Amino acid sequence: MAREDFDVVVVGSGMAGAAAAHRFCEAGLKVLVVEAGDDTPVSASGASNLPDPADQQIQARCYAFGRNTRPYFVNDSDNPYCTPSERPFTWIRAHAVGGKSLLWAGHCYRMDDLDFKAAQFDGVGAVWPLTYREIAPYYDRAEEILQVRCAHSVGPGEERKLSDAEARMQTAFAGKGRKLIGARVSHNRAHPETMGPCLSCGETTAECLRPVNSRDSTLAAALKTGLLTLWTQSRVRSVTIDSSGKATGVTGVRRATGELFGVTGRIIFLCASALESTRILLNSTSATFPDGLGNSSGVLGHYLMDHVSGIVLTAILSGDGGLRKENARAGMFYVPRCQNLGDQRDHGFLRGYGYQVFTMRADHELLPCARTQKKLVRDGTAALDGDGAQIVQLIGFGEMLPHYDNCVEIDKEGRTDVCGIPVLRIDCRHRENEIAMAQDMVSSGLELLKAAGTTVTHVQSIPWEPGLAIHEAGTCRMGDDPATSVLNRFNQCHDVLNVFVTDGSSFPSIGVQNPALTIMALTLRACDHAIRQL
């Protein structure tokens, strides 16, 4: 194996990995980013390396999968995993420079102490080893990088006016004790003249939301420093350690040639995505760590979570309040969680959920994104009446409770991926709490839509199996007690202090918020801690 030396080795080039690379390069350190995928161009629809459709049947279930995005997704046949037949898990993966940041929808919401300390209120799981006050400055930095703003902003501090229908809906929701606020989203407006086509519809002129991706932001900035080396098609298998138990680097396989590689680094940052980072640690066995690197607690691989999702309600809001022509762009709103706040207990389940809400003109030729148009018009067509109606859609996202038995492990049958690296067996299911929550999402959503005077046209009432929200978290959780957690309060491995894990695997609980913003904030915080230690 050829070996090279770096100050920091970062595994993964997505939201966390690219942010880490940029921060370390800013500090003057020599950094290597190891990425399993290719540097696929943005305009990927004409790519010649597309897998056969039969080899992407799992990935095709993702909302972002389509003609323009197919090259970013993995080949399922080359990247297998196992699940019990009665407990399916849909694992959506991107192997490309930029990772899943190329595919995300851009929603950015902060977690707070209600989320971090949830276990103190209901006794389920573990508290986070930090407070909102500690992470707030890093949320500020993450929002600046991701250009987070209200979805309706038309300029600095300026938002478009709500239509009459949207205002009526906001008032109706308030009457039911629910807030309807503008969605907080990442929208890349820094260099609109250089932005590529919308990944969903392929248009370059449409006013589609284009969230910031890591490849064109933090990773590009890191490369400009001259201190970053990027290896593509390089799949990491394990973290290596020396006789004292300190991490020395990583080993892996070059996808194109099958060549083994090894690289050394003073610090290792695993940012490969929740399950991939955990897979690397589980495969990093030695005499010191026979059950996986940093697994003296025995909790590595356990407490897997994903958001309770798949509940979708579509309705028509008709009458005199349709969007004006100049406001043809879709409205994006959010209904924050209101259930079980603090000591409040008034629902038949623990924790809670929120709704992402979309409004669009029913005269669909004015809609900005062809993919969104197709979905909403299909669900709402039956009630279109041409009188300025709007299509309204509520999409629920709820908190899955952490359970030890929702877990991943290295497959005991010896299955491997295309590079010969042992694969995961994933065992995760919804339980009574998640089922009750999903039922409440439906009944409460119908109540809100009825109060707003809508005509409901479509209800998707069965939650998706875990994985399809693409927000997997846990399996390498943070905590103050090394006996019950893998990482400390700075995402640093209790057992191996020069190994950090900053993707969603570090979450002790998942909250209801989309995880990308918190992942970036945790990464920036961990980087600052590592730099201070160096």
pLDDT at residue 315 tops 60? yes
Q: What is the CA radius of gyration of the chain?
A: 23
Q: Can you tell me the distance from the alpha carbon of 516 to that of 271, in angstroms, rounded to the nearest whole number?
A: 12
Q: Does 325 have pLDDT greater than 70?
A: no
323/329 Cα distance (integer angstroms): 9
Q: Are 13 and 97 in contact (CB under 8 A)?
A: yes
The two structure tokens encoding residue 211: 């969230």
Q: Indicate if the pLDDT at residue 411 is higher than 80.
A: yes
Q: Is 50 exceeded by the pLDDT of residue 331? A: yes
Residues 180-189 have pLDDT tens digits of 999 999 988 7
What secondary structure letter does DSSP report for 303?
S
In this structure, what CATH number is given to the domain that contains residue 150? 3.50.50.60
CA distance linking residue 81 with residue 196, whole number of Å:
33
* Residues of the domain holding 121: 2-533
- Total of domains in the chain: 1
Q: How far is CA 361 from the centre of its chain?
A: 29
* pLDDT attached to residue 324: 45
Q: Is the pLDDT score of 364 beyond 80?
A: no
Beta bridge partners of 302: 407
| CA pair distance 61, 113, nearest whole angstrom | 34
How high is the pLDDT of residue 50?
A: 79
User: Among the listed ranges 26-30, 266-270, 292-296, 324-328, which one has the minimum average pLDDT value?
Assistant: 324-328
With 80 as the cut, is the pLDDT of residue 155 above it? no
Q: Which of 148-152, 249-253, 456-460 has the lowest mean pLDDT?
A: 148-152
Helix residue spans in 194-346 (DSSP H):
218-224, 274-283
Q: Supply the pLDDT for residue 161.
A: 75
* Contact criterion met (CB below 8 Å) for 388 and 320: yes
Tokens of residue 270, six digits: 């695993």
CA distance 374 to 379: 9
Q: Which candidate, 307, 276, 269, places its Cα nearest to that of 523?
A: 269
Q: Which residues pair with 34 in a beta bridge?
A: 11, 231
d(CA 473, CA 352): 17
pLDDT at 49 over 90: no
Task: Flag whether pLDDT at 519 surpasses 70.
Answer: yes
Please give the full DSSP string across 446-505, using - where no structure is assigned: HHHHHHTT-EEEEEE-SPPPTTTTS--B-SS-B-S-TTT-SB-TTSBBSS-TTEEE-SGG
pTM listed for this prediction:
0.93
Mean pLDDT rounded to a whole number for the chain: 89
Torsion of CA 497, 499, 504, 510, to 10 degrees: -10
Q: What is the model's pLDDT at position 216? A: 94
Give the lowest-confidence range in 76-80, 152-156, 212-216, 454-458: 152-156
- Contact between residue 272 and residue 12 where contact means Cβ atoms under 8 Å apart: yes
269: closest CA among 2, 484, 22? 22
The residue whose two tokens read 């389920």 is 124
Task: Extract the tokens encoding 173.
Answer: 């929701």
Q: What pLDDT is recorded for position 51?
A: 83
Return the amino acid letter for 179: K
Q: Given a cut of 50, is residue 370 above it in pLDDT? A: no
Nearest partner of 308 among 179, 410, 397, 224, judged by Cα: 397
| Residue 25 pLDDT greater than 80, yes or no | yes
Sorting pLDDT into bands at 50, 70 and 90, what band is 369? low
The answer for residues whose C-beta is within 8 angstroms of residue 361's C-beta and 6 or more apart is 322, 323, 328, 367, 389, 390, 391
Residue 387 amino acid letter: D
Q: Rounded distance, CA 385 to CA 380, Å?
A: 11
3-state secondary structure of 4: strand
The C-alpha atoms of residue 252 and residue 494 are separated, in whole angstroms, by: 24
**Residue 378: which pLDDT band, with cuts at 50, 70 and 90?**
low
Q: Which of 31, 483, 401, 11 is nearest to 234 (CA)?
A: 11
Distance CA 428, CA 309 (A): 15
Around Cβ 21, how many Cβ atoms within 10 Å?
A: 32
